[in-house]
Amino acid sequence: METITDSKRILVTGGAGFLGSHLCERLVEAGHEVLCVDNFFTGRRRNVAHLLDRPNFELVRHDVTFPLYVEVDQIYNLACPASPIHYQHDPVQTTKTSVHGAINMLGLAKRLKAKILQASTSEVYGDPEIHPQTEGYWGRVNPVGIRACYDEGKRCAETLFFDYWRQHGLRIKVVRIFNTYGPRMLPNDGRVVSNFIVQALRGEDITIYGDGSQTRSFCYVDDLVDGLIRAMHSADDFTGPVNMGNPGEITVAELARKVIELVGASSRLIFRPLPEDDPLRRKPDISLAQTALAWQPTTSLETGLQRTVDYFKQQGTGL
Ligand code: NAD
Ligand code: UDP
């Protein structure tokens, strides 16, 4: 069986985005030939600027809804906006990115006999009735709501991955990622951790949607990237789906208070309407990742938030 350190040619779609850029960095450091493909919708060239002069890194502008002809051994398929404001901006394109993107990347993997990993999401569980969420739970998604372009797109992508596995014997890994945060989130990303930190640093009010009693469980980016790499190197008969996230559950209001304290801000909490179909509770059951991949997050929320605050501080007042 191959080891994590065997040098490989690796394609990362969405590689200039938040998670993708950290993944590219880790793979380049490990000595792999990394091909980063991105259409720069929510990704930025500056996220991978420090890798551009590395001989084993290449950046290509490409939209995964169109076919791609390259030669690689492994594919991490991360291309897709992840923040609700971004994926709802052009919902048709979001579904196309998930579905056509999956078809194109699976077709590429089939031709190359390459291993392929899908960055799926806890959103496949929708607004869940089961808590914490286990991989066996089929979910509760509104198929016609404003989150459906993302949720159903990702669900359909999972279907495609499993059909390519059953029908064509492809080596697949489906990872359901729960809320992950860290440096290189966009300041205007819209997701809760970056919103709260940026608002606190600017001394602005913190916008809580709803009454702030909804929960999420936040995973620091380094832990998640470690998990993705472990999943890629799991035995060929391990397909997932496997949950990855940090089971530490916290309400949105508690998160706001923690951020205010860390930043030392004088921001007030202000309450805004809860967006449609916003899940009430979310927390991963990670027993499968623990037993099958020997993976679990190790970064505490305080440490991860502090690193993220430091990153946004370095970005300066304009953020
Ligand atoms: P992100 O928005 O920072 O990254 C997505 C990247 O994909 C961006 O660089 C964007 O420009 C690129 N992209 C979008 N559409 C594309 C297209 N058609 N062709 C090529 N590139 C395209 O978000 P992220 O948080 O880094 O998320 C990465 C992946 O992980 C996504 O697939 C997302 O669904 C998944 N995920 C993330 C989280 C999280 O909390 N961060 C949770 C669950 C799932
Ligand atoms: N949220 C909030 N204020 C913000 C941004 C988000 O209260 O400024 C809430 C949002 O309604 C949701 C939670 O924080 O309940 C997480 O939102 P995010 O967009 O980060 O991720 P997702 O809803 O996809 O988990």
Amino acid letter for position 271: F
Nearest residue (by CA) to ligand 2, atom 5, is 192
DSSP label at 284? Answer: B
Cis ω before 297 (30° cut-off from 0): no
Please work out whether the CB of residue 79 comes within 6 Å of at least one atom of ligand 1: yes
CA–centroid distance, 196 to ligand 2, in Å, is 10
The pLDDT profile of the chain, 319 residues, written as one tens digit per residue, is: 455 567 799 999 999 999 999 999 999 999 999 999 999 999 999 999 999 999 999 999 999 999 999 999 999 999 999 999 999 999 999 999 999 999 999 999 999 999 999 999 999 999 999 999 999 999 999 999 999 999 999 999 999 999 999 999 999 999 999 999 999 999 999 999 999 999 999 999 999 999 999 999 999 999 999 999 999 999 999 999 999 999 999 999 999 999 999 999 999 999 999 999 999 999 999 999 999 999 999 999 999 999 999 999 999 755 5
DSSP label at 237? Answer: T
Please work out whether the CB of residue 81 comes within 6 Å of at least one atom of ligand 1: yes
H/E element holding 116?
A: strand 115-121
Please work out whether the CB of residue 41 comes within 6 Å of at least one atom of ligand 1: yes
Cα 49 versus chain centre, distance:
20
What pLDDT, on a 0 to 100 scale, did the predictor assign at position 316? 78
Best residue among 209, 218, 246 to mutate for probing ligand 2, ranked by most atoms within 8 Å of CB:
209
Please name which ligand lies nearest the alpha carbon of 92: 1
What pLDDT, on a 0 to 100 scale, did the predictor assign at position 7? 79
What pLDDT, on a 0 to 100 scale, did the predictor assign at position 6? 75
What pLDDT, on a 0 to 100 scale, did the predictor assign at position 175? 99
Best residue among 186, 204, 216, 277 to mutate for probing ligand 2, ranked by most atoms within 8 Å of CB:
216
Nearest residue (by CA) to ligand 2, atom 11, is 209
CA–centroid distance, 87 to ligand 1, in Å, is 9
**Does the CA dihedral 17-19-25-31 come out positive or negative?**
negative
Q: Which ranges of 65-191 does DSSP label H, i.e. alpha helix?
A: 84-87, 91-112, 148-168
Q: Which atom of ligand 2 is nearest to the CA of 214?
A: 15
Tell me the three state secondary structure of residue 177: strand
Strand order in the sheet with 33-38: 57-61, 33-38, 9-13, 74-77, 115-121, 172-177, 242-244
Please work out whether the CB of residue 223 comes within 6 Å of at least one atom of ligand 1: no
Nearest residue (by CA) to ligand 1, atom 27, is 82
Best residue among 19, 85, 103, 224 to mutate for probing ligand 1, ranked by most atoms within 8 Å of CB:
19
What pLDDT, on a 0 to 100 scale, did the predictor assign at position 2? 55
- Cβ neighbors of 142 (< 8 A, separation 6 or more) are 126, 127, 148, 277
Q: Which residues are catalytic?
A: 150
* pTM, full prediction: 0.97
Cis ω before 187 (30° cut-off from 0): no
In the CATH scheme, what architecture does the domain 9-181+220-245+283-297 have? 3-Layer(aba) Sandwich (3.40)
Residue with tokens 């596995």: 165
Structure tokens at 211: 């009454």
Q: How many angstroms separate the Cα of 292 from the Cα of each of 26, 124, 240?
A: 22, 21, 10
CA distance 146 to 73: 36
Tell me the three state secondary structure of residue 181: strand
What pLDDT, on a 0 to 100 scale, did the predictor assign at position 89? 96
